[in-house]
Structure 1
Amino acid sequence: MRVLVVEDDAELGPALCASLAAAGMVAELCADGSEASFLGATEGYDAAVLDLGLPGLDGVGVLRHWREQQASFPVLVLTARGRWSDKLQAFEAGADDYLTKPFLHDEVALRLRVLRRRAWGRPDPRLRVGALALDTTAGRFTLAEQPLALTAQEHRILAHLMHRQGAVVSRAELAEHVYARDADPDSNTLDVLVGRIRRKLGRALLHTERGRGWRLADEGDGAED
């Protein structure tokens, strides 16, 4: 899950990114409203955490620009402004959730997982593909009801495939959602990681669509391994 964190507080921003990374997300920090406006309209984020008081362009202006540019990822407003008028303005601009400071870092991660699940049209907090299950609230995988051990990168890849279950996910899409924008993975990194995940799952769940990408689907659907 790739998240844009828009926060100009020099201590809070990095701390929030670190906590989201510890929760298995790729968090990219931006401290300027104008830059955030551009990034959200041009990059493939799964969600954003947005402060309202920003230099360059305020958070409501950023949010309006994103929605005008058809950026549909869910946005959690995180701000010290708790007045009803501020909340109303944020929701009217296109916010999906609103949390006032001070806050628990774990709650931010939880709300982002819920927002992403709803954005992908998955109302059930527990996603399943065959014997594989993802508890989106806790961010944990199980296989045949047993905990599934995954590295941080494997977890991000499998979580994205889980939300896109049944669909072919291209190499470009997968890289966009599991790596930060300034990361430059080796050309075969995804192949190696997907291979490791497949061995942990069993080949019946994770399929290779030659020349197109990968697809996570229940066994017996006739997909090519």
Structure 2
Amino acid sequence: MVKAWRRNRAIRRVKQGDGRPLQRFRWWQLPLGRALFHLRPSFDGRRPGAYAVDVRRPGGEATAHLYLDGRHHAQSKIPAVFPVEGGVIEVATSSFGIKRCHYVTTTGEEHQLVPDPKSREGRRARLERDHPTASRMVAATSVVMLVIGVGLNLPQIIGPIAQVPLIAENLGTFTSPIHLPLWLNITLGLGAALAGTERALRLRYHWLLDAGGN
């Protein structure tokens, strides 16, 4: 019920598009965080339409733009749910990038949209396609870095929180057995950020490992 309420709320945020043409992805847009995804032309022998989702972050606030047959069809703040032929397109982000861009049919089937080849997500997908072994090594390294970061930083975060009088009186105090130097904490933080970004390029998300999403 909560999921249905959130979906309906997101649908109500959708605004009608202005019909402008879809801009091609340019190389200089890579550092700007633009993401562009395309819906495969056919599912189960039916063509739901040539849809594209263009995600922009003007001023840090992510906005999703839906294009139909190359024309601006609708837009919405993220998380976004766009009603389309045969279902909806759901778009969500985390602090590291895109965590969801899927076409969900009325029967509940999910199909991830295909990233534009020139985008960051498209380049990461090409690495996975052309060099699968290297891709798996990078993916595994990302998970390890996030696990280490969570395992070492979580006790250090819980320690000060447990000193709050109200929490201490009800749950007791907790002293972290881990005390890392500042330089190591910074290094782990940078490593976790890189790992989270790498996972976002593959639209991978876990509530614990990739915490901090929108």
Length-normalised TM-score, structure 2: 0.26
Q: Which has the higher strand share?
A: 2
Greater RCO (Cα-Cα under 8 Å, separation 6 or more): 2
Length-normalised TM-score, structure 1: 0.26
